[in-house]
Amino acid sequence: MASRPHFDGQPFVDAYGEGGFRLAGQRFEGSVIVAPRGLFPWAAKSIADVTPASLAPLVEAAGDFDFLIVGSGEATMRLPAAALRRLESQTIFPDVMATGPACRTYNLMLSENRRVAAALIAVS
């Protein structure tokens, strides 16, 4: 059984690419959700895979963050309408951009002590 990742506070994204992310020196394969409540694997391989159900960790933590950054992959793409409606029903209004800029924006906001979460689709 793999050990659960542990971070002192919410981790910065150290690197992205090659199908995953490095957060606080730990490598994670695939897409991830990073929120004040923790890091969650995310099954989305593309923006088309984002469903209302896949956003459950964010909906459950809605009161813990003020900003949601969504990394949509190699290019900026719109969230599917049903997923966007689910977030907006919880008064979560995501900023969607390509994954690279999303990682940088998330890190900047975190460095400014803002209450931020990120849903990041892995890129090659």
> How far out from the chain centre does Cα 27 lie?
15
Range of the domain at 76: 30-120
3-38 confidence digits (pLDDT tens):
455 556 899 999 999 999 999 999 999 999 999 999
52 neighbors 44 (Cβ within 8 angstroms): no
* Inside any domain, residue 10: no
Which pLDDT score, from 0 to 100, does residue 6 have?
56
* pLDDT of the residue at 5: 57
> For residue 89, what is the domain's CATH number?
3.40.1230.10
pLDDT tens string 47-76: 999 999 999 999 999 999 999 999 999 999
Across the range 86-99, mean pLDDT stands at 97
The pLDDT value given to residue 111: 97
Residue 110 resides in a domain: yes
Q: Is 85 among the domain residues?
A: yes
Say how many domains are in the chain. Answer: 1
CA dist., res. 1 & res. 30, Å (int): 18
The span from the CA of 42 to the CA of 55, in Å, is 9
Residue 73 domain-assigned (yes or no): yes
Q: Is residue 19 part of a domain?
A: no
What integer pLDDT is reported at residue 7 of this predicted model?
58
